[in-house]
A and B are shown apart, each in its own frame.
Chain A
Amino acid sequence: MGVNVRMVRLAVLIIWAVFCITPIFWIFSTAFKPNEEATKFPPTLIPKKPTLENFEYILSDPILFRSLLNSVFVSISAAILCIIISSLAGYAFSRYEFRGKKFLMGLMLGSFLIPPVVNIIPLYVEFFKLFGTTDSLLELVIVYQLLILPLNVFLFKNYFDTVPAELEESALVDGCSRLQAFYKITLPLSKPAIAAASIFAFRFAWDEFIFALTFISSPDNNVFAAAVYNFVGLYQVQYGYLAAAMVILCIPPVIILTLFQKHIITGLKMGGLKG
């Protein structure tokens, strides 16, 4: 009786697991096939002639390669900037009581709810008027803050709540300024939070494509996700190349997921679910 229920449960979970993996498996499989085999009928699950030529093609294209480097740059910069800004904010919310705190927290939370893409049009106009052009990686780094700031602010706040304030108190007594205490004591103790926050920041910035597509017009400034989207039009796609680009695009997130799974789940639960 119990066995039967377990069987059913396992069956359902396995079906969904297969469902989850199939698209990813398919692009990995296609990425290693030569283009002719990729669109051949009947299609092959395991490549008959496994090859790295698709990856070579993608990485040897100067525009795509450049955009890959740009993606790394933008993602890391956005993550660093975000951690600085959000940890300060999280600290403020965690350690201080002040007028308007509830209101500001609500505002921060509310902004998380509304996806930035809704504002893409006025943002485009705003940046165009401010900087004269939207075609800049630095502007992307700024815009990406919007994506992750609220989540990370709450992540830091919730984490700092669990760090005893007494440790900072003793540092203050010893003559540190508040900022020094923050920097020397609280932050080092918050490694899990920093890890989770940087993971989220990096991941959202890496995958982002619609802002890059809209803002960037010169191939030199593009990020990888948007460059691949343009690529689809540029070379009137062959599935082998496209699949290889996909694989490259999903390698960092997959690595991050495998290595930092626990962090991510705890981070999500801390940041997104409490708030």
Chain B
Amino acid sequence: MARLNESITPYLLLLPSFFVLFGLMIVPMIWNVYIALHDVSITNIAKSWKFAGLSNFRYLVNDEWFWNSLLVSAKFVGACVAGQFLIGFSLAYLLSKERWSNLFRPVFILPWFMSIIVTGYSWEMLFHTRLGFINNYLLHFRIPWLEDPDIAIWSVAIANVWWGTAFTMLFMETSLTSINPEILDAAEVDGATGLKKLRYVIIPLIKPFIAVNLILITMWTVNLFDLILVMTGGGPLYSTRTTSLYMYQQAFNFGEISLGSAVGIVLLALNLVLAYAYLRASR
């Protein structure tokens, strides 16, 4: 394929995309830092901003609910990533051997196609302590899925796993198909079958894919808060208020925009670390 070396044209073609990217991603990141160093609230956006130095960050350090949010995020991300990956990988593996995989696959992808609102509210309808499907139909006793501070975060995680597993499943399926069948045959000849083959042959071969997958879903889960907003709004007693939700609520429920930006920077730092890990792992 002959490639071209015309000087300006490629840049012109790329201009719109990068203009969008620059304006909607890079510029805001810089703004974020600027806002976090000033005193901006929803009432004075249009007016002048006082410089505030590090006082927003100092507030965060002293706020017990900020530290709580980090803990909640850790729990939530841990549960979601573990759930999505283990289940997603297992599904991919099972589907690769199943004759009727084409029947199952669309059903498995269906949740991922649901909007967050549908996911959130449908699971709320299942989880509602008094009116919900699970407590009324499946169980004889009532579990306060969304109302107990110790349980709520795991319930939301279940909803997220329901929604997001499809991505890992597809990703892992692709990675499995990338394995040269001859290697698998050779392994079987050597006596490795079933689980042994899985553990000693397949997994090592797709390690880079696994790493990329894990980093991607971690990144997306760390930043996710709309599902939580819809299902619990952060409660009960902030037990489902992840750092990302904390950021959103500070800015838009309490009007403390700079405080939200400060949290945003913490999140951003986390994201950049994960992005870097991703780029290294996908080499």
Q: What is A's interface to B at a CB cutoff of 8 Å? A: 9-10, 12-13, 16-17, 19-24, 26-27, 30, 39, 41-43, 45, 84-86, 88-89, 91-93, 95-98, 101, 104, 106-111, 113-126, 128-129, 142-143, 145-146, 149-150, 153, 161, 164-165, 169, 178, 203, 206-210, 214, 225, 228-229, 232, 239, 242-243, 246, 249-250, 253-254, 256-258, 261, 264-265, 268-269, 272-273
Alpha-carbon gap, A142 to B21, bound state (A): 11
Asked whether A165 and B247 contact (CB < 8 A) given A10-B98, A113-B278, A118-B268, the answer is no
Chain B's closest residue to A12 (CB) is B94
Chain B contacts for A42, CB-based, 8 A: 136-137
CB <8 Å contact, B257 and A125: yes
Q: Which residues of A contact B104 (CB under 8 A)?
A: 13, 17
Closest Cβ neighbor of A89 among chain B residues: B17
Told that A16-B91, A20-B108 touch, could you supply 7 new A-B pairs with CB distance under 8 A? A20-B111, A27-B125, A98-B11, A126-B28, A143-B24, A254-B113, A268-B170
How far, in angstroms, from A169 to B2 measured CA to CA in the complex?
9
Q: A243 near B125 (CB under 8 angstroms)?
A: yes
In the assembly, what is the distance between CA of A207 and CA of B20, in Å?
21
The answer to whether residues A149 and B17 also contact, given A98-B5, A121-B257, A249-B118 and a CB cut-off of 8 A, is yes
Against A, the Cβ 8 Å flags (1 = close, 0 = not) of B57-91 are: 00000000000000000000000000000010011
- Closest B residue to A264 by beta carbon equals B109
Q: Which of A92, A114, A225 is close to B10, meaning CB atoms less than 8 Å apart?
A: A92
The yes or no answer to B110 lying at the interface (CB within 8 A) is: yes
- Expressed in whole angstroms, the minimum distance between the Cβ of A151 and any Cβ of chain B is 12
The answer to whether residues A20 and B28 also contact, given A113-B216, A113-B275, A125-B257 and a CB cut-off of 8 A, is: no
The answer to whether B136 touches A43 (Cβ under 8 A) is yes
Enumerate chain A residues within 8 angstroms of B174, measured Cβ to Cβ: 269, 273
- Of the listed residues A9, A24, A106, A122, the one surrounded by the most CB atoms of chain B closer than 10 A to its CB is A122
3 residue pairs, one from A and one from B, having the closest CB atoms: A207-B115, A122-B28, A122-B31
| Nearest chain A CB to B84 CB, angstrom units | 12
Please classify how large the interface on chain B is, using the bins under 10, 10 to 19, 20 to 34, 35 or more. Answer: 35 or more
Taken residue by residue from 113 to 125, chain B's Cβ proximity to chain A (1 for < 8 Å, 0 otherwise) reads as 1111111011101
* B4 nearest CB neighbor, chain A only: A96
Asked whether A249 lies within 8 Å of B117 as measured between CB atoms, the reply is: yes
Interface residues of B in 252-266 (CB under 8 A from A): 252, 257, 260-261, 264
Interface residues of B in 164-195 (CB under 8 A from A): 170-171, 174
Whether, in the assembled complex, B225 has its beta carbon less than 8 Å from a beta carbon of chain A, the answer is yes
Contacting pair A113 B98 (CB below 8 A): no
**Does B95 reach chain A (CB closer than 8 Å)?**
yes
- Closest Cβ neighbor of A227 among chain B residues: B117
Contact B98 A273 (CB under 8 A): no
Q: Which of A98, A122, A207, A239 contacts B116 (CB 8 A)?
A: A207
B114 in complex: contacting residue of A109, A128, A214, A250, CB < 8 Å: A250
Known: A95-B4, A207-B115, A229-B117. A111 touches B170 (CB 8 A): no
Interface flag for B56 (CB, 8 Å): no
B204 at the interface (CB under 8 A from A): no
Instruction: Check if B248 is an interface residue, CB within 8 A of chain A.
Output: yes
For the complex formed, measure the closest distance between the CB of B184 and the CB atoms of chain A, giving whole angstroms. Answer: 17
Nearest-Cβ distance from residue A63 to partner chain B, whole angstroms: 16
- Whether B95 lies near A13 (C-beta < 8 A) is yes
The answer to whether A113 and B219 touch across the interface, beta carbons within 8 angstroms, is: yes
Are B115 and A206 neighbours in the complex by a CB distance under 8 Å?
Answer: yes
- B24 adjacent to A145 (CB under 8 Å): yes
CA distance A30 to B136 in the complex (A): 14
Q: Are B126 and A145 in contact (CB under 8 A)?
A: no
Tell whether B139 is near chain A: CB-to-CB under 8 Å: no
**Cβ–Cβ < 8 Å partners of A272 in chain B:** 171
Q: How far is the CA of A21 from the CA of B267 in the complex (A)?
A: 34
On whether A41 and B244 interact (CB within 8 A), knowing A121-B261, A164-B1, the answer reads no
Chain A minimum-CB-distance residue to B113: A253
CB nearest to B90 among chain A residues: A12
Least CB distance, B165 to chain A, in whole angstroms: 8
* Cβ-based interface call for B206 (8 A): no
Write the chain B residue with the least CB distance to A210.
B226
Minimum C-beta distance from B261 to chain A (A)? 5
A26 and B122 contacting across the interface, CB-CB below 8 Å: yes
- In Å, the complex CA distance between A115 and B279 comes to 16
